[in-house]
Amino acid sequence: MATTQYTVTGMTCGHCVNAVTDEVSSVEGVTDVKVVLEGGSLTVTSDSEIPFDKIAAAVDEAGYTVSTS
């Protein structure tokens, strides 16, 4: 199991949190996603390490930007 921390920028409300959660949850291998609006914290738990570009693509699809913490 792998847990990775990221920072998402551009989120302003609960809808934003839900959009990021839904998109990242759909990435193959992801088992849990926790998003905190204040500070933009994104914690991804997965079966194995997920390449950053896959997480970045999912967050981009939701309309936001992600960086490694």
- The CATH number of the domain holding residue 45 is 3.30.70.100
| pTM for the model | 0.94
Residue 33, pLDDT score = 98
Percent of the chain with pLDDT over 70: 99
Which residue(s) pair with 67 in the sheet? 7
Report the domain count for the chain: 1
Residue-wise over 13-25: b if at least 16 C-beta within 10 A, else e?
eeebbebbeebbe
The predicted-structure confidence for 48-69, as pLDDT tens digits, reads as follows 999 999 999 999 999 999 999 6
Examine the pLDDT at 41 and tell me if it is beyond 90: yes
* Structural domain containing residue 57: 2-68
Q: Using alpha carbons, select from 22, 8, 1, 3 the residue that is nearest to residue 68.
A: 8
Residue 42, pLDDT score = 98
Pull the structure tokens for residue 46: 């997965």
